[in-house]
């Protein structure tokens, strides 16, 4: 039995004003541990980052998933294997936000890596990873501007060129404005092929107001990419986990829905089945 399949939900909570990002690293995904390491080292970054003080900053939060205690999703974290990897280039202003959904990808696919983005300091670890011959990195971005059309590719074209390399989906994680800035201002991204996500889905994300229904949150982009790459099982697990997160967090603000109970039951059944295999 994989120990991560049965994470112990933490009952320990404290107000976010006392939140020590490094206090409880045991049992967290490698992704989440790295996000907390970034958040705990403000001297490495040019901008002083504000602590999380938006709506809900005084509620009791789980130290594992950072959600309000009654919406804790730690029990539902379900790691799966996939034949693709995600690397997340996270805008520095995202690291303290409990509404960030890239961490759902990190929880579900343990190989997921995260790098902090800031304009003046390229992330050294990412520069090295981009040179690693085992990987075929693709930057996930819309194909709607004329000046980089020569870089735009499609999944069938990628598959034909892999030659045994692992496809990597590099996600620009921030607001739409920030993502555009990251795409334009990062010289080390200028040679990467651009893979757009053309998905039929409209966003279900409730925790931030999207500019349009076609603007998917980061976890939803992840689900669409896993579907595109025919990683069906990983796509299903991430989809259910996103539902638990989205509906559960939303339930703190309104009535819990049937969707939530269904997704919770799905993940627990899946974990039980994996434990028997
Ligand atoms: Zn939790």
Is 108 domain-assigned? yes
- Mark the residues whose beta carbon lies below 5 A from ion ligand 1: 62, 64-65, 72, 74
Per-residue pLDDT of 163-217, as tens digits, reads 999 999 999 999 889 999 999 999 999 999 999 998 888 888 877 776 667 788 9
Q: Please report the pLDDT score of residue 101 as a whole number.
A: 94
DSSP string, the chain: --GGGSPPPP--EEEGGG--TTTT-TT--HHHHHHHHHHT-GGGSSSPPPP--STTTTSEEETTT-SBGGG--GGG------SSEEEEEEEGGGTT-TT--HHHHHHHSTT-EEEEE-TTS--HHHHHHHT-TTEEEEEE-----GGGGGGB--HHHHHHH-TTPEEEEEEEES-HHHHHHHHHH-GGGTTSPEE----S------SS--SSTT---HHHHHHHHHHHTT-HHHHHHHHHHHHHHHHHHHHTTS---HHHHHHHHHHHHHHHHHHH-
Which domain range does residue 269 map to? Answer: 30-276
Taking the centre of ligand 1 as the mean of its atom positions, its distance from the CA of residue 56, in whole angstroms, is 16
Residue of 268 and 213 predicted with greater confidence: 268
In a domain, 22, yes or no: no
Distance 138 CA to ligand 1 centre (A): 32
Residue 261, pLDDT above cutoff 70: yes
Q: How far is the CA of 181 from the centre of ligand 1 (A)?
A: 32
Cα(116) to centroid(ligand 1), Å = 24
Separation of 177 CA from ligand 1 center, angstroms? Answer: 30
Interval between CA 25 and ligand 1 midpoint (Å): 12
Distance 69 CA to ligand 1 centre (A): 7
Tell me, yes or no, whether 122 lies in a domain: yes
Please report whether residue 5 resides in a domain. Answer: no
Task: For residue 249, report the distance from its CA to the centre of ligand 1, in Å.
Answer: 11
Give the pLDDT mean for 219-236: 97
Q: What separation in Å is there between the alpha carbon of 221 and the centre of ligand 1? A: 23
Domain-embedded: residue 255: yes
**Residue 19 domain-assigned (yes or no):** no
The answer to whether residue 8 is domain-embedded is no
pLDDT single digits (tens) 101-128: 999 999 999 999 999 998 888 899 999 9
Cα(169) to centroid(ligand 1), Å:
27
Confidence (pTM): 0.81
Residue 251 CA to ligand 1 centre (angstroms): 15
What separation in Å is there between the alpha carbon of 19 and the centre of ligand 1?
Answer: 14
**82 Cα: distance to centroid of ligand 1 (angstroms):** 24
Residue 233 belongs to some domain of the structure: yes
Ligand 1 centre distance from Cα of residue 21 (Å): 14
Distance 46 CA to ligand 1 centre (A): 31
Confidence of residue 24 (pLDDT cuts 50, 70, 90): low
Number of domains in the chain: 1
């Amino acid at each position: 039995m994989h120990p991560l399949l049965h994470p112990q939900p933490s009952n320990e909570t404290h107000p976010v004003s006392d939140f020590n990002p490094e206090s409880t690293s045991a049992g967290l995904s490698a992704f989440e541990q790295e996000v907390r390491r970034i958040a705990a080292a403000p001297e490495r970054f040019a901008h002083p980052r504000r602590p999380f003080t938006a709506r809900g900053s005084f509620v009791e939060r789980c130290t594992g998933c950072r959600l309000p205690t009654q919406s804790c999703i730690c029990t539902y974290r379900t790691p799966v294997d996939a034949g693709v990897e995600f690397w997340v280039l996270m805008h520095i202003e995202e690291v303290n936000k409990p509404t960030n959904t890239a961490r759902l990808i990190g929880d579900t696919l343990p190989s997921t890596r995260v790098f902090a983005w800031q304009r003046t300091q390229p992330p050294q670890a990412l520069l090295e990873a981009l040179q690693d011959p085992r990987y075929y990195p693709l930057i996930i971005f819309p194909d709607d501007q004329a000046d980089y059309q020569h870089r735009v590719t499609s999944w069938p074209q990628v598959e034909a060129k892999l030659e045994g390399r692992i496809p990597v989906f590099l996600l620009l994680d921030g607001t739409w404005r920030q993502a555009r800035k990251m795409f334009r201002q990062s010289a080390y991204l200028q040679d990467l092929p651009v893979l757009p996500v053309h998905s039929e889905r409209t966003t279900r994300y409730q925790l931030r107001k999207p500019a349009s229904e076609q603007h998917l949150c980061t976890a939803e982009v992840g689900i669409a990419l896993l579907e595109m790459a025919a990683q069906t099982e990983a796509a299903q697990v991430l989809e259910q986990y996103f539902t638990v997160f989205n509906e559960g967090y939303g339930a703190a603000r309104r009535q819990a829905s049937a969707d939530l109970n269904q997704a919770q039951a799905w993940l627990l059944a899946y974990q039980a089945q994996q434990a028997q295999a």
